[in-house]
Chains A and B, each alone.
Chain A
Amino acid sequence: MRLFEVEALTVGITGSPFPILREVSFYVEPGEVLALVGESGSGKTMTALAAMGLLPFGIEMTGGDVRLEGDSLVRTGGTVERSAAQMSMIFQHPTSALNPTMRVGHQVGRVIQINQRLGRTQSLEAAVELLKHVGIPGAKRVARNFPHQLSGGMCQRVMIAMAVACQPRLLIADEPTTALDVTVQAQIFDLIKSLVSEIGCGVLFITHDLGAVAEMADRVAVMYGGQVMEESPVRDLLAKPRHPYTRYLLESVVREVDHRVEDIGVDFALTGCRFGHRCPYVHEKCNGFPPLVEISPSRRVSCFLRTEELR
């Protein structure tokens, strides 16, 4: 059974006909790391927020299903309900995701206190243990500090401690190292990997960095304009990208590009394929919405080009 599955998830602004996320589908197997990769504005974070039931006011889920271990988490009215033992999230900016007015030990303790129904003192002790476990030197002393007294890397370790406090089945990491230096990033990747194998949870790893994908993930889903373009094992995708957008993305990392091409930035076609107006292979059919089609086992692509042409 799949650990976590998102099926045809559609999210939009209340009252607007244009969806922000359009039929987003992917899955995470037990113990697996799935990377969700894309440029800014591609809908990676929105997908995570929808899956967590944390959509901001005015944005709602209009269709699709989110399932954890086979059970749908979607309740009537499109709200998602989940517990900390099911799913938890590491946010992008650790310094702004932590409460600046609470000592970090207390913040981690609260998670344990609420979810495991322990007493205040007991949960604080458990929190110190947890801080030690995520590699914070002098955890007892650090537990008494406020977030502003800690470095970015330390704050991210505190965030991670909070996220794994209840041993979740699925961990969502939203650009966990974007705000950090590379040497600290290497430390955090190491920590996440070791915690994941310890707890045995699945990971939804959101990033814009293809290097981080190669480093961390087993499989990858590439997003553009709120649409999943390609879903594939990491190794296969890096060796042979199929979707025209994935090719474009990989080329921009590796190859020299022509700087005279106009910068388009975040500008998606509203009807038809979201990559349509930038795609070199565009044709009439692209005015319709391309479904995610399996082109080989474990590999799906959302493109009208026939399977043979994508090879």
Chain B
Amino acid sequence: MTLLECRNIHKTYGHGVATVPAVRGVDMQLERGETLGLVGESGCGKTTLGRVIVGLNAPTSGKVVFDGEDVSGRLHEPEFRRRVQMVFQHPQSSLNPRFRVSTTLREPAILLTSMRNEELGQQIEQTLRLVGLGIEYQTKKPKQLSGGQLQRVAIARALMSSPDLIVLDEPTSSLDQSIRSRIIALLKDIQERRQVSYLFISHDLSTVRKIAHRVAVMYLGRIVEVSETEALFNDPQHPYTQALLSAVPSIDPGDRSERIILRGETPSPTALPVGCSFQDRCELVHARCGVEAPLLQETGPARHVECFAVQ
């Protein structure tokens, strides 16, 4: 069953000549209990899209449909907030340094749920155990914890209101490799127990491959390809996805295929070309790409690609 649906979301920052279209018409669905990986390079609009979904930024146009209801104008309502939570990139800066862990965890429950006193205390202990921290962590302050422990607290805070959807914005990119793997395993375990959906935003493709059921690739504010994870990694179809995947260095010596090295840099979002936004760097470019922009179209089972050459 579809939990979240984005319909033609646009988000533009700035006014007049200085407008930056960060998200340019995104359509996507997220099922209940599913993890959708949202990957792309810096500046592609993935964080903006995540913030629009949790209601931290209002979309310029387009609809967010949550559990069958249009919530676009009601993103500030407590009931929606309870059901959609977010985990940020740097736990060090997203946790209040003066709050003990227990206070941090109590806040969302008091604001968004009717839990009080004993029930709340139990919920805090239960959630801490769920994220793999002992109840003795309740009295600690952020500076006493390591990066991995802080991220566990941040995940616990998101879980306190028993949400249906958690938007995870680069939750592991500030962590070391060994800690990163454990956080991923933890998130999977929580998903199994609680049936929560994740929108997992990351630029780290190998991490996304470990956790996501489906992956959406963003480039310059648009989703250019969306597919089931293994299908995407084994057979990327959009030329940008191909370049992106081939750029990831692999430790497997058997995986020494030709690197696709992209020309130049991502064009500035303030001066986008007419037609396909990837045309200047694309190997498969032809006349039509400079005239009209391709749209996301189905190319296979559960697979959509935004490219004329593939369609």
CA distance in complex: A252, B203 (Å)? 19
Per-residue CB proximity of B140-179 to A under 8 Å, as 1/0? 0000001111001000000000000000000000001111
Q: Which of A1-58 contact B (CB under 8 A)?
A: 39-40
A186 within 8 A of B: yes
Known A183-B41, A252-B178, A253-B181; judge A263-B148 contact (CB<8 A).
yes
Contacts of A185 in B (CB 8 A): 247, 249
B251 within 8 A of A: yes
Instruction: Decide if B176 touches A208 in the complex (CB within 8 Å).
Output: yes
Instruction: Decide if B182 touches A263 in the complex (CB within 8 Å).
Output: yes
Instruction: Decide if B247 touches A259 in the complex (CB within 8 Å).
Output: no
Instruction: Decide if A214 touches B262 in the complex (CB within 8 Å).
Output: no
A215 within 8 A of B: yes
Chain A: CB-nearest residue to B131: A259
Contacts of A249 in B (CB 8 A): 177-178
Known A210-B251, A263-B146; judge A184-B177 contact (CB<8 A).
no
CA distance in complex: A256, B262 (Å)? 32
The majority secondary structure among interface residues of chain A is: helix
B185 within 8 A of A: yes
Known A210-B251, A214-B253; judge A40-B176 contact (CB<8 A).
yes
Contacts of B189 in A (CB 8 A): 259
Instruction: Decide if A182 touches B177 in the complex (CB within 8 Å).
Output: no
Chain B: CB-nearest residue to A267: B146
Instruction: Decide if B247 touches A186 in the complex (CB within 8 Å).
Output: yes
Known A213-B251, A257-B185, A258-B185; judge A208-B177 contact (CB<8 A).
yes
Per-residue CB proximity of A228-266 to B under 8 Å, as 1/0? 000000010011000000001110111011111111111
Shortest Cβ gap from A3 to chain B (Å): 25
Interface residues of B, count at CB 8 A: 38
Q: Which of A181, A216, A248, A266 has the most chain B CB atoms inside 10 A of its CB? A: A181
B259 contact from A39, A186, A212, A213, Cβ within 8 A: A186
A153 within 8 A of B: yes
Contacts of B84 in A (CB 8 A): none
Contacts of A256 in B (CB 8 A): 181, 185
Instruction: Decide if A39 touches B176 in the complex (CB within 8 Å).
Output: yes
A252 contact from B148, B177, B205, B253, Cβ within 8 A: B177
Contacts of B251 in A (CB 8 A): 210-211, 213-214, 238, 250, 253-254
Per-residue CB proximity of B208-224 to A under 8 Å, as 1/0? 00000000000000000
Instruction: Decide if A265 touches B181 in the complex (CB within 8 Å).
Output: no
B243 within 8 A of A: yes
B101 within 8 A of A: no
Shortest Cβ gap from A239 to chain B (Å): 7
Instruction: Decide if A263 touches B265 in the complex (CB within 8 Å).
Output: no
B293 within 8 A of A: no
CA distance in complex: A151, B251 (Å)? 28
Contacts of B177 in A (CB 8 A): 39, 208, 210, 249, 252-253
CA distance in complex: A238, B189 (Å)? 29
Shortest Cβ gap from A93 to chain B (Å): 14
CA distance in complex: A248, B176 (Å)? 13
Instruction: Decide if A252 touches B41 in the complex (CB within 8 Å).
Output: no
Contacts of A235 in B (CB 8 A): 253
Q: Which of B231-258 contact A (CB under 8 A)?
A: 243-244, 246-253
A137 within 8 A of B: yes
Known A182-B244, A249-B177, A257-B182; judge A211-B146 contact (CB<8 A).
no
Shortest Cβ gap from A235 to chain B (Å): 6
B1 within 8 A of A: no
Known A186-B247, A211-B250, A211-B251; judge A181-B41 contact (CB<8 A).
yes
Instruction: Decide if B262 touches A252 in the complex (CB within 8 Å).
Output: no
A81 within 8 A of B: no
Instruction: Decide if B146 touches A266 in the complex (CB within 8 Å).
Output: yes
Contacts of B247 in A (CB 8 A): 182-183, 185-186
Instruction: Decide if A182 touches B205 in the complex (CB within 8 Å).
Output: yes
Contacts of B205 in A (CB 8 A): 182
Contact residues of B with A, CB < 8 Å?
Answer: 41-42, 132, 146-149, 152, 176-186, 189, 203, 205-206, 243-244, 246-253, 259, 261-262, 264-265
* Apart from the given pairs A185-B249, A250-B251, 9 other A-B contacts in the complex at a CB distance below 8 Å: A40-B176, A151-B265, A182-B248, A189-B249, A210-B177, A265-B147, A265-B148, A265-B176, A266-B146
4 closest A-B pairs (Cβ-Cβ)? A211-B249, A265-B146, A263-B148, A259-B185
A-B contact pairs, 30 of them (CB 8 A): A151-B265, A181-B41, A181-B203, A182-B41, A183-B41, A183-B247, A183-B262, A185-B247, A185-B249, A186-B247, A186-B261, A186-B262, A187-B261, A211-B249, A211-B250, A213-B251, A238-B251, A249-B177, A249-B178, A250-B251, A253-B181, A253-B206, A256-B185, A259-B189, A263-B152, A263-B179, A265-B146, A265-B148, A265-B149, A265-B179
